[in-house]
Amino acid sequence: MFSDRISFHPQGKNVKNHIQILDDLTLRASSDSSTSLVISDANIKNNIATSISHIHIHDKHVIRTLHCTMNVTSTEAELLAIQCGINQSIGHSNIKKIIIITDSLHAAKKIFDSSIHLYQIHSAAISKELREFFTIHNDNSIKFWDCPSNLKWPLHA
């Protein structure tokens, strides 16, 4: 329904260029009061999934959400981290652009898959939130950027 306002940016063949783009994107987003930058991640160790999102909005403190749960897949944990980041971002009325940096672009794409699948309940919840976000203003958008966990990012670290 809002496909023109949703974009996915996978890692290209030139890894160094991709890292530079992420660096530039982060710097621009941190100085724009209408942009929310969400960095999400999840992992599973000893059957316990940890989902974490760091949300940065211009001049506000970084918001960190952390959830631990058992008996879920890594994709479910990633979707939870993304959903938490979207929730926190949408909660700020002046946000028009949400940028999500994740190492699970494949999980993010499942949000918009309308066919029946294992993660449909998660994608329905996220889609509902995004539908409300897109309805508020015609310029609102969300961009998903791939940052595989094996990348050395940010460049200056």
Would you give per-residue pLDDT tens digits along the chain (157 residues)? 677 888 999 988 888 888 889 989 988 998 899 999 999 988 888 888 888 888 999 888 888 888 888 888 888 888 888 888 888 898 888 899 999 999 888 888 877 776 656 667 767 777 788 888 888 888 999 999 998 776 655 544 4
Q: Give all domains of the chain, ordered by start, each with its CATH number.
A: 3-146 (3.30.420.10)
Label the pairing between strands 35-45 and 48-57: antiparallel
Q: Which residue has the tokens 């980041």?
A: 85
Taking CA atoms, 93 is separated from 33, 80, 81, 97, in Å, by 11, 22, 21, 11
Task: State residue 144 phi and psi, 5-degree precision.
Answer: -105, 125
125/132 Cα distance (integer angstroms)? 11
What sign does the dihedral 79-93-62-65 (CA atoms) show?
A: negative
pTM: 0.85
Question: Across-strand partners of 49?
Answer: 44, 69
